[in-house]
Structure 1
Amino acid sequence: MKKFITIVAAGALSLVVAVQPAAAAASFPDVPKSNRFHDEVNYLVGKEIISGYSNGNFLPKKNVTRGEAAIMIGRMLGVDGAKRDTKFKDVLKNYGASGYIAAATDKGIIGGYPDGTFRPNEHISRGDMAIILDRTWSLEFGSVRDFKDVGENMKASDAIYNIAREYITTGYNDGTFRPKGTITREQFSAFLARGMSPVYKQRVIGNNGYSLNMTKQYTFGTSDGDRQLVFQQGIQSDQAPDYKGFAWKETNLKTGQVDYSLQEETSDEMITGYPFSEYYTDLKFPLKVGVPWLNGEGEGTAKITNMSKTVKTPYKTFTNAVETTSDMGYKVYYVKGVGHVKTINPAGKVVRELKSIK
């Protein structure tokens, strides 16, 4: 099983993108509001990363080619897409995507084949898509997910788990990722939107889980001052100076000290990890009173001791909190759709509690 300490060698790219959705853009007759990826498509159209066809349609089910993927990635990065010579014998200067292919190649995002070709008109595979997105955003932290068709020795393995950690993909309901499968235009749009904005990441897991909502700002009262949590792009610390993914930035409003954490919720568990460091299992699913789990390496065990606890916090009183108790005596409370709301130490003293959500 992949963990947050997974490290992948990736070229550092300076990428700053807006984290809120753009206003609604073009309206395609073949991408109605009932389409699962309607908002993601229009988000990218509004940013001029992807466009429709001359007949006014988007063709959401059309498979994406390698050349088209280079164009969309290039537009997202804001590179010069002017036609020019490339290193590939099958991508001449007059080819429409030549500039984007050349630029992405120079940045180390994409590559060709041993025979010197790029094969721009071939459909891009899901595995190659994962590699490209992993390199684009310099992702490094792996995932707790476990796809049964992604082996550790697979070329795209680390990249697949890195984009899973970012909620860019969750795979299929049968537990597979299908790395050799193709990608449609609507699917590719969803992957890009999730990589750019926490709004679309949050839609992947919905609002019925127990993890913090990535579109909200939280303030907690702690024993050493109030702490503000904001989910944002760009960890820039001694541990991860080049990482450009998203994480929770926690700022002590009294001292100004900043820490980062990574949270992931799957069908099996919810965990909180720290860059290049330890992780903790907050909850094991399905939730059941009395069943213990390992909290983390060297951290003992925890179990659910109440499924509908009434918990009072400065923010509000919750009547449906899940209470966990560790073998060290700490009690932690989680609320569906909100996340962690309170922690009490073995002496019964509140050490952390929710004060506001914006």
Structure 2
Amino acid sequence: MKRILTLAAAAVCALTIAVQPAAAASFPDVPKANRFNDEIQYLTGQKIISGYTNGSFQPKKNVSRAEAAIMIGRMLDLNGAKRNTKFKDVNAQNGASGYIAAATEKGIISGYKDGTFRPNQSISRGDMAIIMSRAFGIETGTVHEFKDISDNMKSYQAIRSIAGDYITTGYADGTFRPNGSVTREQFSAFLARGMSPVYKQRTVNKDGYMPDMTKKYVYATNQGDLTMEYKKTKGQFAELTYTGFFWVGERPATKEVYYIHIEETDKMLVTAYPFSEYYTDLVYPVKTGTTWQNGPADADIAKITGVNKTVKTQYKTFTNAVEVTEKGTKSYYVKGIGLVLSVDSAGKAQRNLKAIK
């Protein structure tokens, strides 16, 4: 058991974001084969991004600080009317001046100590993380580790926050490269992921055990049916107002509502309580006999006690489940679905997958 942050969670209300279907490709330089085509079309349909006067999108072009302010401003529906700003290099003649001024007033973006904003300078990945975390109000952190970031960096917490919110995954070599540039297609992907579970889901390892963020799960429990759905929430956590995505658990019979964060890295699958503790559900690679400490007591040892197990649930029978045993309780996980069954030491089902919608 470990801590992500030290704030306790209080009740919040669940909201949903409607996802519009991707429009037909409208940029000649963004073919359907482009890795981020759907994200670009989604944001184009939302009128958050646009192309150039010659009809191109220029997906490989680096995003300037002014362009970043425009896209973030449109996403948040800020006032983009051109006006003077506090920065000596951004006057009312600058096309991005309104969004720069509005985003600055909201505390989303900032300039430099010399009083400049440097609108034409390419935005770095570190600065991108800062404005994304501020724009989406993300503060949850992550269990993901990047080799090239440390807690003495200005962007450290922001990078950890957007990683935990499935906005970024970093690079295959385990780095984030905070000083690197951000292309227009990459920025589009980050924005789309921040807005919709559909695009967050695309960052997940297809061979992993994360539940599908675009699906609604229904479990039978001894307290009635439990639904689990990944939603955007807004409300009070301790003394802070927080807006972000969580798995929302609801029991209609008891009117119970709770919130958890599920995250997967190449090393583990974890379940966390907002701004509090997390528990390790699985350790990778999955191998029978693997054990790990999952709590403060010596008895809190979890162990993989079987793979490719056949498990019958109310939803269907699975033949590829991983069995984890901890203090007599057996939990079963399936690739692409997550937890499908949990049985206590007496053999009674605590949670039994009933439906996926």
TM-score using structure 1 length: 0.94
Q: CA deviation at 1:150?
A: 0.3
C-alpha RMSD over aligned residues: 1.6
Match of 1:312 in 2: 312
Q: CA deviation at 1:23?
A: 3.6
Partner amino acid, structure 2, of 1:252: R
Unaligned runs of 5+ in 1: 8-15
* Inter-partner Cα distance in structure 2 for 1:246 and 1:88: 34
Unaligned runs of 5+ in 2: 8-14
* Inter-partner Cα distance in structure 2 for 1:109 and 1:238: 21
Match of 1:32 in 2: 31
Partner SS for 1:244: strand
* Inter-partner Cα distance in structure 1 for 2:203 and 2:260: 19
1:190–1:48: structure 2 CA closer, same or farther, 3 Å change rule?
Answer: same
* Inter-partner Cα distance in structure 1 for 2:222 and 2:4: 28
Match of 1:139 in 2: 138
Match of 2:77 in 1: 78
Match of 1:281 in 2: 280
1:269–1:240: structure 2 CA closer, same or farther, 3 Å change rule?
Answer: farther
Deviations 1:168-214 (A, max 9, x none): 00100111000000000000000000000000000001443211100
Match of 1:13 in 2: none
* Structure with greater proportional strand content: 2
Match of 1:182 in 2: 181
Does structure 2 conserve the Cα–Cα contact (< 8 Å) formed by 1:222 and 1:352? yes
Q: CA deviation at 1:21?
A: 3.7
Q: CA deviation at 1:297?
A: 3.8
Match of 1:11 in 2: none
Q: CA deviation at 1:19?
A: 4.2
Higher RCO structure (Cα 8 Å, ≥6 apart): 2
Does structure 1 conserve the Cα–Cα contact (< 8 Å) formed by 2:329 and 2:344? yes
Q: Which moved more, 1:178-187 or 1:135-144?
A: 135-144
1:127–1:189: structure 2 CA closer, same or farther, 3 Å change rule?
Answer: same
Deviations 1:59-81 (A, max 9, x none): 00000000000000000000110
1:331–1:239: structure 2 CA closer, same or farther, 3 Å change rule?
Answer: farther
Does structure 1 conserve the Cα–Cα contact (< 8 Å) formed by 2:313 and 2:354? yes
Partner SS for 2:220: strand
Partner amino acid, structure 2, of 1:269: M
- Within-5 A mapping of 1:1-358: 4-5=4-5, 18-239=17-238, 242-298=241-297, 300-326=300-326, 328-358=327-357
Partner amino acid, structure 2, of 1:322: V
Deviations 1:289-313 (A, max 9, x none): 1010122344711111111111111
> Percent of counterpart pairs with the same letter?
59
* Inter-partner Cα distance in structure 1 for 2:135 and 2:104: 11
TM-score using structure 2 length: 0.94
Partner SS for 1:33: coil
* Inter-partner Cα distance in structure 2 for 1:225 and 1:241: 32
Does structure 2 conserve the Cα–Cα contact (< 8 Å) formed by 1:22 and 1:47? no
Partner SS for 1:258: strand
* Inter-partner Cα distance in structure 2 for 1:101 and 1:25: 31
1:77–1:199: structure 2 CA closer, same or farther, 3 Å change rule?
Answer: same
Partner SS for 2:199: helix
* Inter-partner Cα distance in structure 1 for 2:193 and 2:313: 32
* Inter-partner Cα distance in structure 1 for 2:6 and 2:123: 25
* Inter-partner Cα distance in structure 2 for 1:213 and 1:47: 24
